Amino acid sequence: MNAIEIIEQLNKDWFQNYGDTDTKKFASYLHEDFIYTGKQGVFKKKEYIKDVVSGRIKRKLSAKECIEITDFGYTALCVGETELINPTYTTKSNHNFTLVWHRVEDEWKAVAYYES
């Protein structure tokens, strides 16, 4: 598989496993220096994983995912749209996201995730 195909699969896996209580599995996608920036604030890897596995908010790729992936060699930029589902309030909303992947040795890791 080429880099674009690998990132496409990683993105699908990322959103499919989002909110999974298997912390190790979800953490395996993230680089040690991972950073999240969004309406909830700025979180480093440990804080972000805690928020994700809490199940407080679920994310999934929407039908309008519009993913565009740009490969820069050791870094790939993924831009798209995600649907956020808040089970407490039974609300849904669409958000744009940018997910930055970086290749470390033979493995791709997420280094930054921004959503608006």
CATH for 48: 3.10.450.50
- What residue type is 79 in one-letter code? V
* Number of domains composing the chain: 1
Cβ atoms of 19 and 86 within 8 Å: the answer is no
Domain that holds residue 52: 3-115
69-89 per-position pLDDT tens digit: 999 999 999 998 877 766 665
pTM score of the predicted model:
0.83
Q: For residues 8 and 37, what is the distance between their CA atoms, to the nearest angstrom? A: 22
What are 72's two structure tokens? 């820069």
The pLDDT value recorded for residue 63 is 45
How wide is the angle at C-alpha 99 spanned by C-alphas 94 and 102, nearest 5°?
170
